[in-house]
Amino acid sequence: MLKFKEGDRVKVVSRDVTDEDRKENVYFSHMAGLTGTVENVFGANEIAVKVDPASLSAIPRDVHKIAVERMREKLLEALSEEQKKQLTKEELDFDANYVLLLRSADMEHAG
């Protein structure tokens, strides 16, 4: 039985990065300590976690912010003026989710 299910609050464990992690691209040191909510469970080694933006350190938070701004710009470039007028302020100022695909061994339940 899987120990995580959709909706669980989780925290990424802090541990040393191994050669296998680097080879498989499954764990990086900047992930340690991040908190979030399990969005999907595909298996023990494939769990999608929506990360709490407040738990991001400065550099990933800035990169995420810039990425969202670029997405908004691309949307505005693709829309006509008439289409833009039909969108609400909330739709124009959308935010993107920061989601990581994690292994259950790299997570623990958040308190």
DSSP 16: P
Per-residue pLDDT of the chain (111 residues), as tens digits, is: 568 999 999 999 999 999 999 999 999 999 999 999 999 999 988 999 999 999 999 999 999 999 999 999 999 999 999 999 999 999 999 999 999 999 999 999 997
Q: Cα-Cα-Cα-Cα dihedral of 70, 71, 73, 74, to 10°?
A: 120
- Number of Cβ atoms within 10 Å of the Cβ of 56: 19
